[in-house]
Structure 1
Amino acid sequence: MGSRIPSKPRDQLSSQEKSDYDDIICSFTQIAEHGFGKNGERFLYKDKDGSWLGPYPLLMAAPKTGKLGMQLVYSIGELPLPSDVKETAILACGGHFQAAYELYAHEAVATAAGVLSKEQVAVIKQGHKPEDLNENCSLAFDVAVRLCGAPGPLPQELWDKSIRAFGRNGTLALVHYVGFYAYICIALNAADAPVPE
């Protein structure tokens, strides 16, 4: 089954859609290639006819919001957080929401970068914490799962542990990554964005 918000190649867009597409496609391409490499190197974010996959069609469907979303991605990407901690938090969000495309993409990112093993990713994808995570990744998992899955404030103990482990800026980065990827997971699930075959 395809996405509820399917992407279309540029040549199938109306004049206004082409204008919107051209206005934000540069941002999409820069972020995708900077963060994930060329299409297909780690995972597919465009299909064979050049149509965007994953969250991109949803962002294209509301161009003003899509542009702001891309600016947010740039800003969050500049925040200081170790790669293994970041990918653990992102995958913990995906595991909580069972967002298929997010799990597909970030499994590829985490394993290609060597920051998590395939076995660790498989456990996180099921919503569980691997026993062999390092201390910082274990903490990131706990923070992400608590923020995604329980009402009310983050417990003071988790906040304090995060401040000790990552500092204030790193803790803020972790919170922003969790918040942003929770949004992405919700959007992907709403659109029923499929994993490429």
Structure 2
Amino acid sequence: MATFEDNLGGRLQLLAPDDLTSDQKKLYSQLQDTMVPWAKKSGFQADTFDDRLIGPFNAMLRSPLISKALMEVTAAEGKHTSLSEKVRQVVILTVGAVWQADYELYAHAAVGRQAGFDEATIQALVAGQKPASLAREESEAYDFTHRLTTTHQIDAELYEQAVVTFGEKGVVDMICLAGQYMTISGLLNTFAVPAPAAK
């Protein structure tokens, strides 16, 4: 009989630690050492009571070597980005809202609260709306990311404004971050991964 925990995999069975291949076990250990503690600290769930991974992490176990490289990109972005944490969360939540990726929005709503956004701002971003409360850089990050993820083009005016505000490095950083979360959202939506129910 299926349990609530099983449903957290969406179209995929949640893999048990004892059933993993050697490469999967290496990725699993990396995720348990990095992403699961970060999730708990941030206020969202990334594993089950019996240590099975949920969210995009369960899907990533199906292709452990490529997913390991993706996590290396994630670590590099966090370490070397020129973007503030609030700008980063605006970018991530904007992508998640365009993709309507439930787990991503659930997780990064929690991270956004940790970054200092109030609940009204978080809920507007989750709903795909631009909050009036955003600071200038956050507002421009929203415009840039929303345009990129909906039209896939950046017009000259928006480009010039982004370069003035973030510099060329910052523009590249925003694009890489948005692309990273398009991949995550693609995993979540393809496998119909739900957000855990509120407790």
TM-score normalised to structure 1 length: 0.89
Pairing 1:85-104 to 2, within 5 Å after superposition: 85-104=87-106
SS at match of 2:76: helix
How many positions carry a matched residue from both structures? 189
TM-score normalised to structure 2 length: 0.88
| Alignment-derived partner of residue 25 in structure 1 | 28
Q: Is the contact between residue 104 and residue 195 of structure 1 (CA under 8 Å) also seen in structure 2?
A: yes
| Alignment-derived partner of residue 125 in structure 1 | 126
Q: Is the contact between residue 59 and residue 69 of structure 1 (CA under 8 Å) also seen in structure 2?
A: no
Q: Is the contact between residue 36 and residue 46 of structure 2 (CA under 8 Å) also seen in structure 1?
A: no
2-side partners of 1:84 and 1:69: how far apart? 22
Deviation at 1:41, TM superposition (A): 5.2
Q: Is the contact between residue 36 and residue 47 of structure 2 (CA under 8 Å) also seen in structure 1?
A: no
2-side partners of 1:85 and 1:52: how far apart? 28
SS at match of 2:61: helix
| Alignment-derived partner of residue 110 in structure 1 | 112
| Alignment-derived partner of residue 137 in structure 2 | 136
The range that moved more, 183-192 or 100-109, is: 183-192
1:7 aligns with 2:14: yes
1:3-51: CA deviation from partner (whole Å, max 9, x where unpaired)? 112322212x1xxx331222212331343157x25x3651100111111
- Sort the Cα spacing of 1:50 and 1:172 in 2 relative to 1 into closer, same or farther, 3 A: same
Pairing 1:45-194 to 2, within 5 Å after superposition: 45-78=46-79, 79-114=81-116, 116-151=117-152, 153-194=153-194
1:105-144: CA deviation from partner (whole Å, max 9, x where unpaired)? 0000010231x21101111111110112111111111111
Unaligned runs of 5+ in 1: none
1:75-97: CA deviation from partner (whole Å, max 9, x where unpaired)? 22222210010000100001111
- Sort the Cα spacing of 1:45 and 1:33 in 2 relative to 1 into closer, same or farther, 3 A: closer
1:156-176: CA deviation from partner (whole Å, max 9, x where unpaired)? 212211111112211111111
SS at match of 1:25: helix
Give % identity: 26
Q: Is the contact between residue 96 and residue 148 of structure 1 (CA under 8 Å) also seen in structure 2?
A: yes
The letter for the 2-side match of 1:154 is: I
Q: Which stretches of structure 1, 4 residues or longer, exceed 3 Å deviation after superposition? A: none
Unaligned runs of 5+ in 2: 1-6
Cα RMSD between the aligned structures? 1.7
